[in-house]
Structure formats: structure tokens, C-alpha cells
């Protein structure tokens, strides 16, 4: 057996994003340019770590990713593991990394880790962080302690769970946090260090349909109810409300949502960015006690954007009866 064949195999897929972006000419904005092989060519430190198979799955800014495309990414990643890859690494834009990671985590059935990373500075900019983030992602992927943890986001030498991670800054290098819990691990001197052992995971089956539509609306001061009133006639299958504080809305919104919930499931989350919705504290009209009495579900710690993903997948797999259990999970 040669040294090369003795090395573990890691599959790396590129979806585009800032990590792949360069400017066509000085003074022009950056756009996705580098394919997966070009990104790896900038990392001689990868030599000897593993055997790598690469694929440029797409080259788009992450705002243009969609659920159908992510299902194709999932199928590719599962096929790589089926062909012997010990881990999968994905690079994509940071704008939707938190959502894509959660989407894939809900469906990833393998013990093999799926590690996602990106960059805050384009590849053509001084001090680009993409190579360091990709190297850290590979090292986390190769760690035996990463197995059984599902999909992880590795960026800025921190390891985050897909359910908890959020992009909390638009341009700062340290743009990712896991509010309320913090990262579950750290990359130190090239090694992945975790704060706790892997816990038992749950995954959803693949959706049988993808035509369902779930809308996300944010409560704000003195917002009217025109859009809420129109929702039942617009063909939506579910609604997520990013509510005030611990999961609250105005009295007019509460009254209108009482009608909407007769047509589709409604989840109320908090728009604050950290913390849980309440369940039994506030008794006013539009408070969480009132909203639950009207048939709405409270999101707990799950952020509004991830509530929308969870609801979309549950609707697509005819598993809506599991919604309360997942929100409490």
C-alpha cells in the first residue's frame, strides 16, 4: 500500500461565494471566479493530509442558492461518502451559510462529517481569509471527533453547530457567532478541540415534494396587516413570524393571525437574534400565551430563518405532526 492510498479521502465541493471571488479589473466589484481546484492550488499545506476529490458544483453568490440546488448538493455529498470519502467539505458564500448548513444538517444521514466554510474577504483582496478557513475546515473534517456531529460551520478557527450558527456582522472578519451557546469547538494548532462529546442526532427524510412555499414576515412598530390578510389567497403553505422580544406581535396582528392559522401552520420566533421565545409569561393580546391559544407555535431558540427551513422540509415530507417535537428539540 502506498502512502497516498493510505491517506483518508476528503471530497471538497465549491458552490461559489466570496471565497471564490476575484475582481476582473482594478476598481471593479468581485464576482465568483475560482473553481474548486484553483482554491486548493493556493493551499500547499493540504499536501499529505488526505487524498482530495474536487467538484465545482456551482459558482454563484450564496444569495442565489435555492432549496432545489441544495438537494442536489446533498445527493452529491452522499454519493461521495458512498464511494469512500471519510468527510465532505463545502465552500460557499457567507450570506446564506447559516441557512444552507441547517438545511443540509436536517437531511444529512451520515456519520461522516460535512464541514462548511467560506470567507469574508475575496480571494483577490489582501489578507484573504478563504485559504485559512478552508485549511481549518479540512482539518476539522479529518478529526475523528467530528464524526456523528452532522453539518458543522468552520470559520475564523471556530467550529459551530448548524442549528446555532448565525452571521452577525456584515463585513467584519469575525462575522459568525452562535448566540446563547457559543461555538462547540476551536481549531488550535491545526487540531479540532470540542467542548463536549457528540450527541445523538435526528434527521428528516428527503422531501417528496418541493413546491411548498413558506413566507417569513417580521413584526415591526405600527405595521399594518394587509400582507397577513392576503396570505391565505396567495398560495402559501406556511408562515413564520419574526416577532418582538420573546415572541410577540401587536393586537391587530394577533387578530389577523388567528384567521391565518386556520389556513396554514404559523410559527412565531424572536427577531432579537439571541434567546428563546417565551411560553407562559405574557398574557396580553399578542403575547405568547394568547398566540398559542390561537393555534400558533412558538419557535423556542430556533431563529426565524431556520424555522422557515424546518417548516418547508416538514411540509415537503408530510411530517408536519412532528413540528412541535422539532421546535422543542
Catalytic residue positions, numbered: 18
Q: In sequence order, which residues have a C-beta less than 8 Å from that of residue 52 and are 6 or more positions away? A: 9, 10, 11, 12, 40, 46
Report the b/e string of 238-248 with b at 16+ CB within 10 A.
bbbbbbbebbb
Measured distance CA(225)–CA(294) in Å, rounded: 17
Measured distance CA(103)–CA(119) in Å, rounded: 20
Cell of 277: 421565545
Strands 114-117 and 151-155: parallel
Whole-Å CA distances, 281 to 61, 67, 277, 290, 328: 42, 36, 10, 10, 17
Q: In sequence order, which residues have a C-beta less than 8 Å from that of residue 154 and are 6 or more positions away? A: 115, 116, 117, 133, 136, 137, 140, 160, 187
Could you give the dihedral angle defined by the CA atoms of residues 147, 141, 151 and 197, in that order, rounded to the nearest 10 degrees?
A: 40
Phi, psi of 130, rounded to the nearest 5 degrees: -60, -50
Return left, alpha or beta for 167; rule: phi > 0 is left, psi -120 to 50 is alpha, else beta: beta
Please, are residues 61 and 100 in contact by the beta-carbon 8 Å criterion?
Answer: no
What is the length of the chain? 329
Q: In sequence order, which residues have a C-beta less than 8 Å from that of residue 329 and are 6 or more positions away? A: 202
Please, are residues 251 and 290 in contact by the beta-carbon 8 Å criterion?
Answer: no
Amino acid at each position: 500500500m502506498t502512502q497516498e492510498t493510505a491517506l483518508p479521502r476528503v471530497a471538497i465541493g465549491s458552490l461559489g461565494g466570496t471565497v471564490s471571488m476575484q475582481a476582473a479589473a482594478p476598481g471593479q466589484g468581485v464576482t465568483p471566479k475560482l473553481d474548486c481546484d484553483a482554491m486548493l492550488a493556493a493551499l500547499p499545506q493540504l499536501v499529505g493530509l488526505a487524498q482530495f476529490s474536487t467538484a465545482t458544483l456551482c459558482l454563484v453568490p450564496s444569495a442565489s442558492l435555492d432549496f432545489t440546488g441544495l438537494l442536489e448538493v446533498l445527493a452529491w455529498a452522499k454519493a461521495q461518502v458512498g464511494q469512500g470519502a471519510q468527510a465532505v467539505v463545502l465552500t460557499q458564500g457567507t450570506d446564506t451559510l447559516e441557512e444552507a448548513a441547517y438545511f443540509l444538517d436536517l437531511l444529512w444521514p451520515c456519520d461522516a462529517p460535512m464541514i462548511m466554510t467560506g470567507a469574508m474577504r475575496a480571494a483577490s483582496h489582501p489578507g484573504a481569509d478563504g485559504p485559512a478557513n478552508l485549511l481549518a475546515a479540512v482539518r476539522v473534517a479529518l478529526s475523528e471527533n467530528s464524526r456523528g456531529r452532522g453539518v458543522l460551520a468552520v470559520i475564523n478557527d471556530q467550529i459551530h453547530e448548524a442549528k446555532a450558527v448565525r452571521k452577525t456582522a456584515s463585513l467584519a472578519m469575525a462575522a459568525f457567532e452562535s448566540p446563547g451557546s457559543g461555538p462547540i469547538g476551536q481549531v488550535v494548532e491545526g487540531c479540532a478541540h470540542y467542548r463536549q462529546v457528540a450527541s445523538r442526532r435526528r434527521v428528516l427524510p428527503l422531501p417528496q415534494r418541493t413546491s411548498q412555499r413558506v413566507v417569513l414576515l417580521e413584526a415591526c412598530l405600527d405595521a399594518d396587516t394587509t400582507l397577513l390578510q392576503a396570505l391565505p389567497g396567495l398560495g402559501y403553505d406556511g408562515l413564520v413570524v419574526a416577532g418582538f422580544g420573546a415572541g410577540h406581535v401587536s393586537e391587530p396582528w394577533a387578530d389577523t393571525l388567528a384567521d391565518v392559522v386556520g389556513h396554514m401552520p404559523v410559527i412565531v420566533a424572536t427577531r432579537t437574534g439571541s434567546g428563546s421565545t417565551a411560553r407562559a409569561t405574557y398574557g396580553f393580546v399578542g403575547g405568547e400565551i394568547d398566540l398559542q391559544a390561537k393555534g400558533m407555535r412558538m419557535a423556542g431558540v430556533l431563529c426565524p430563518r431556520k424555522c422557515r427551513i424546518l417548516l418547508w422540509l416538514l411540509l415537503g415530507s408530510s411530517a408536519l405532526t412532528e413540528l412541535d417535537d422539532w421546535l422543542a428539540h
